[in-house]
Chain A
Amino acid sequence: MPKILVIEDNPDSAELEKRVLAAKGYEVLEAPDAETGLQLAVDQHPDAIVLDLGLPDADGQTLVGWMRRVPALAHIPIIACTAWPEETARKMVEAYGCDGYIRKPISVATFAEQIAAYLRLAKTG
């Protein structure tokens, strides 16, 4: 099953996302901050990254910009997870090169399917 890296500093949100994805059989890697997330991405090459835009050590946007400059990470789908207003989230995600976004709070019913859809999209190009 695909490997998903969840970069999320809020322990409750991280736990929820992890449980929902694990219940669908995904292998889930967790990082509570940008630095750990970057390290795990480099070491583990996940199939997709679910990224909180507000992280304690560097903003999610900065991290996306950084990852897109690393050739080995440039093509990994990154899905932003944010409570920002719809319009701001859309603008940020497009500008920074994320593959999409999911609004917080996530829907337990649809979250795993949303991630699956991004994975399918990445495969088909």
Chain B
Amino acid sequence: MPVTDLPFQLAPASRFTIEQLTAAYNQTRVDYLVPMPMNAARLAEYIQHYDVDLERSAVALADEQMLGLGMLGVRPGCAWITRLGVLPGKRRRGVGWVLSQALLAAGDELGAERTILEVIKNNTPAYNLFLKHGFEVTRELVVLRRPPGPPAHPPPGEARALGRAEALARLAARPDPQSWITGTESLAHLEHLTGIQLVLPDGGRGWLVWQVQMFRGFPLLLSHLALRTEQGDPARVGNALLAHLYQQYPDLDTHTENFPAQDPHLPAFFDMGFMESFRRLEMHRLNRRGEHPT
């Protein structure tokens, strides 16, 4: 374990207001390539959507100055480390190590069998930190964006709208492992979740679920896209599903996260005008109560 010459203490994040945590989080990211700043409302939403437990999340303090923080999402059997960061001037002095160790210990105490997290690809210091903690890379995840564009023209097929309950039922039935952000538990927290189900003339079949984010009562952004091909070629079915979405919402921006880099629907996204923003590495560690990797 790295030694630290910097005297600091850890305190539960629940001792601080959302505004204080937001300010600290933003300061830790100020020099990041992809800083992803938040305001208090956005952080509060993040905490709620992703089951972050502030009692088990930690803030590093020296003389009441926040040096860094890390948050822990908690679900049955699994914990998720997120928003971990240290102020630029206080890095490489063991603060990140101690914070992440505290989060891992909190996950252990809760009986989590494994802890997962994501690091932005090429964030070498963060990647190395978690390797030292025993994490392994599980897969690469892609973050995608699509700018507003002209309406799409879906191919012939039978489309049916899915209400929230139907959308959630389909999400819950996905057989493939999901990232924390794309998991059904996360999407179940979203207010404006909806979708479509589609059957193509050749028998191709699938569904697409998304959220419309609102701003002052107006639709602003599409996010949290999830789709599945139940029969047929995923690129073709995916393309038809996305065409239905962008026939309905051509002028909305889209931001959607954490598609596995090997997802067979990705070509359909690129055909529909999506761009890759950046990639993340998903990492996991089996905890003391879980099996150890061979």
Question: Which A residues have a C-beta under 8 Å from some C-beta of B?
Answer: 9-10, 33, 35, 54-59, 61-62, 65-66, 68-69, 83-85, 88, 91-92, 95-97
Residues of B within 8 A of A (CB): 22, 26, 30, 33-39, 41-42, 145, 147-148, 215, 220-221, 251-253, 255, 273, 275, 277-278
Is there an interface contact between A65 and B148, defined as CB atoms closer than 8 Å? Answer: yes
CB within 8 Å for A54 and B35 given contacts A61-B253, A62-B220, A69-B251: yes
- B residues in contact with A83, CB < 8 Å: 33, 35
Query: Are B251 and A62 closer than 8 Å at their CB atoms?
Result: no
Q: Which chain A residue lies CB-closest to B35?
A: A54
Residues of chain A within 8 A of B252, CB atoms compared: 65
Q: Collect the chain A residues with CB atoms within 8 Å of residue B38's CB.
A: 56
Residues from chain A with a CB closer than 8 A to the CB of B220 are 58, 62, 66
Are the CB atoms of A58 and B215 closer together than 8 Å?
A: yes
Give the CA-CA distance A85 to B217 in the complex, in Å: 34
Please state if A65 and B253 are interface contacts (CB–CB under 8 Å): yes
Q: How long is the Cα–Cα vector from A65 to B253 in the complex, in angstroms?
A: 7
Report, nearest first, the 6 A-B pairs whose CB atoms are least far apart: A56-B39, A65-B253, A56-B37, A95-B147, A62-B253, A65-B148
Sample of 17 further A-B pairs with CB below 8 A, known A68-B148, A88-B278: A9-B26, A10-B30, A56-B42, A57-B39, A61-B145, A62-B221, A65-B253, A69-B251, A83-B35, A84-B34, A91-B275, A92-B145, A92-B275, A95-B145, A95-B147, A95-B275, A96-B147
Q: Give the CA-CA distance A62 to B22 in the complex, in Å.
A: 21
Q: Is the CB of A56 within 8 A of B26?
A: yes
Chain A nearest CB from B277 CB (Å) reads 7
**A-side contacts of B253, CB under 8 Å:** 59, 61-62, 65-66, 96
Which residues on B sit within 8 Å (CB–CB) of A92?
A: 145, 275, 277
